[in-house]
């Protein structure tokens, strides 16, 4: 309660209003057609932002199965379970890449490129941010350089909107 009163007494609670109006960025607005999902961390303020989930990690369209086949769960339950499983796979991969970026027993790692038959994962660590991305499966390392440039421009231009860089003291 004290924190809210303090925020309201300084700037009429403007920081709270700004933070509450921020939307998750959509992968379309970032400008990388191959991008499926993105998580960014601003190191200076230790804050994270993630994009909205995109196909196939949002609820993809579901083809109704043949009714002659008996299902143990409803199509909606199966779809929700599949979606959760796909998202969990992405987040677990991000965690493993994060561990590799911060492993003190290995040489300092700044970039990780991991390709699977269903997606490409990319982790990038700089002095000011960390970024974890999921891309379309046919994204090449060559194309990744262009994607990095686009993501850097997007991050630099939007970081004041995405993160609370000048938070008031309490």
Q: Which one is predicted more confidently, 166 or 5?
A: 166
DSSP per residue over the chain, as a string?
A: -HHHHHHHHTGGGHHHHHHHHPPPPPHHHHT-TTEEEEEEEETTTTEEEEPPP-TTTS----PPPPTTS--SS-HHHHHHHHHHHHHHHHHHHHHHHHHHHT-TTS----EEEEE-SS-EEEEEE-SSEEEEEEE-TT--HHHHHHHHHHHHHHHHHHHHHHS--SPPP-
**Tens digit of each residue's pLDDT (9 = 90 or more) over 77-110:** 766 788 899 999 999 999 999 999 999 888 888 9
Question: What does the alpha-carbon distance between residue 121 and residue 81 come to, in Å, rounded to a whole number?
Answer: 22
Q: Domains of the chain, with CATH numbers?
A: 19-59+75-162 (3.30.450)
Calculate what percentage of the chain has a pLDDT beyond 90: 42
118 has a pLDDT exceeding 60: yes
Task: Tell the burial category of 37 from Cβ atoms under 10 Å away from its Cβ (0-12, 13-18, 19+).
Answer: buried
Q: Which one is predicted more confidently, 119 or 3?
A: 119
- Band the pLDDT of 127: cuts 50, 70, 90: very high
159 has a pLDDT exceeding 50: yes
Q: Chain-wide mean pLDDT for the chain?
A: 80
């Amino acid at each position: 309660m004290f924190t809210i009163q303090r925020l309201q007494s300084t700037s009429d609670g403007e920081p709270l209003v700004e933070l509450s109006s921020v939307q998750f960025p959509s992968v379309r607005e970032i400008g990388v057609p191959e991008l499926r999902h993105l998580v960014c961390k601003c190191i200076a303020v230790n804050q994270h932002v993630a994009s909205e989930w995109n196909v196939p990690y949002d609820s993809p369209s579901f083809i109704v199965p043949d009714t002659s086949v008996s299902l143990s769960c409803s199509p909606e339950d199966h779809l929700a379970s599949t979606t959760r499983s796909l998202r969990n796979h992405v987040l677990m991969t991000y965690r493993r890449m994060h561990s590799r970026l911060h492993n003190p027993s290995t040489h300092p790692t700044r970039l990780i490129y991991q390709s699977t038959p269903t997606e490409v994962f990319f982790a990038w660590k700089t002095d000011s941010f960390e970024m974890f991305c999921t891309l379309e499966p046919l994204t090449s390392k060559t194309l990744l350089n262009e994607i990095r440039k686009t993501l850097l421009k997007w991050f630099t231009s939007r970081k004041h909107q995405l993160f609370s860089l000048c938070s008031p003291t309490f």
